[in-house]
Amino acid sequence: MGQVVLSGVTKRFDGLAAVDDLTLDVADREFLVLLGPSGCGKSTALRMIAGLEEIDEGTIWIGDRVVNDVEARDRDIAMVFQTYALYPHMTVAANIEFPLKARKVAPDERARLVTEAAETLGLSDLLDRRPAQLSGGQRQRVALARAIVRRPAVFLMDEPLSNLDAKLRVQTRAELVDLHRRLEATVIYVTHDQVEAMTMGSRIAILDQGVLQQVAPPQEVYERPANLFVARFIGNPPMNTMAGEVVQEGADVGVRLRGGTIPLPSGIAGVVRERDLAELIVGVRPEHVTMSADGFIEATVVVVESLGHERHVICDVAGPPFVIVRQSIDEQPPAEGDIVRLSTEADSLHVFEAETGERVDTDVPSGAAPT
């Protein structure tokens, strides 16, 4: 009942597509995160689902209904805004009660539901306060209470944690996940914070310039990014990427990079040969780069950064960009200025076509199955 389907949805502002041909299938009770850099169209997509923005092209279903022409109030959704958009002239109780009043719920039923929602979010002692008298975290919870009080099938949230300080954000993140579990409702959650996306989403949909890049569970997005954009966007410190030419020596296929040649695993080598690709971009996550005597690439250590629980060794490979090596704190750190050789396991290698940025892979998993 709570599934949301977008099919070929497009929204243009002054001829420019803010959301371009977006097709997305959100399962009932799923926690789907819309992730992307600022201005990529996340909010616009969410607002179209909410009914706050007209759709230029395409179809949106909520439940089994096409809602293109259904008013926001009739879509059985609730929305949490980044600014919370609490009504400043009303008490907390009146704020939570507002959606019920708007829907003409009987007074005693209203009182019961408000009490219940307030309890769920730990607001019972604050019901008589006004938003101005609350902390940021409390306001955020009032916004959530106002959303859940009416038990809609779908919750839409637009960066609901971005106005909280870092510590509160971590805590609220966990609370939101727990709330989602208890409510058994569908959540579509917009954020530009990849940590939020990785920790909260059952699946992540990544947008760039209005175009969907990949939809997959967090682990898969991390392990098998569908293209260079996703590869570079997800992960901190970001994935090391380097362009190079394909070189063949008999049956072996490698990529010649600055500082050395790296062999490709046989499966990918087969695809490269079959498709006759000449230029590739290879990527390796910092935790998968090791320093060893028999490494493929020679590099100079520029800086060693210690973060307490891990170390980042930043290496120069005869020109930018630097290669970042993530080291456990127990390992012996190199000295700045050392010449080291870098290597990696074959199956930690991500390979992309230089021309399109698309992943070169042996079998592409469907990735659609939500948990």
Partner 1 sequence: MILGLGLALLAHQRVRGIGFFRTVFSSTVATSVAVASVMWITLLNPQIGLINYYLGTNIDLLTDPTWALVAVSATTVWLSLGVTFIVMSAGLQGVPEDMLEAATVDGAGPWMRFRKVTLPLLSPTLLFSLVVLTINAFQSFGQIDLLTQGGPNGKTDVIVYNLVQTSRQVPGRAAAQAVVLFLIIFTLTLVQLRFLERRVHYEGGVGG
Q: Which residues bind ligand ATP (CB under 6 A)?
A: 13, 18, 36, 38-44, 192
Residue among 255, 341, 265, 326 nearest 296 (CA): 341
When the beta carbons of 187 and 289 are compared against ligand ATP, the nearer one is 187
With binding defined as CB under 8 A, does residue 52 bind partner 1?
yes
Binding residues for partner 1, rule CB under 8 A, total 23
With binding defined as CB under 8 A, does residue 50 bind partner 1?
yes
Candidate segments 41-49, 117-125, 217-225, 240-248, binder of Mg ion by CB under 5 A:
41-49
Q: Which does residue 155 bind out of Mg ion, ligand ATP, partner 1, none, counting CB within 5 to 8 angstroms by kind?
A: none
When the beta carbons of 156 and 281 are compared against Mg ion, the nearer one is 156
When the beta carbons of 11 and 359 are compared against partner 1, the nearer one is 11
Taking the CA atoms of 190, 192, 198 and 199 in sequence, report the sign of the dihedral they define.
negative
Residue among 87, 79, 27, 25 nearest 51 (CA): 79
When binding is defined by CB under 8 A, the residue of 1, 16, 39, 83 that contacts partner 1 is 83
Interatomic CA distance for residues 29 and 3, integer angstroms: 7
Candidate segments 128-136, 214-222, 309-317, 343-351, binder of partner 1 by CB under 8 A:
128-136
When the beta carbons of 53 and 208 are compared against partner 1, the nearer one is 53
Maximal CA-CA distance, the chain: 81
When the beta carbons of 79 and 134 are compared against ligand ATP, the nearer one is 79
Candidate segments 9-17, 35-43, 297-305, 356-364, binder of Mg ion by CB under 5 A:
35-43
Q: Which does residue 215 bind out of partner 1, ligand ATP, Mg ion, none, counting CB within 5 to 8 angstroms by kind?
A: none
When the beta carbons of 17 and 79 are compared against partner 1, the nearer one is 79
When the beta carbons of 66 and 85 are compared against partner 1, the nearer one is 85
Q: Which does residue 133 bind out of Mg ion, ligand ATP, partner 1, none, counting CB within 5 to 8 angstroms by kind?
A: partner 1
When binding is defined by CB under 5 A, the residue of 4, 6, 43, 189 that contacts Mg ion is 43
When binding is defined by CB under 8 A, the residue of 61, 81, 296, 322 that contacts partner 1 is 81
When binding is defined by CB under 8 A, the residue of 9, 78, 157, 351 that contacts partner 1 is 78
Residue among 217, 218, 225 nearest 27 (CA): 217
Task: Give the footprint of partner 1 on residues 99-118 (CB under 8 A).
Answer: 99, 102-103
When the beta carbons of 14 and 330 are compared against ligand ATP, the nearer one is 14
Whether the CB-CB separation of 329 and 309 falls below 8 Å is answered with: yes
Interatomic CA distance for residues 142 and 239, integer angstroms: 39
With binding defined as CB under 8 A, does residue 133 bind partner 1?
yes
Q: Which residues of this chain interact with partner 1, rule CB under 8 A?
A: 50-52, 72-73, 77-79, 81, 83, 85, 87-89, 98-99, 102-103, 130, 132-133, 146, 150
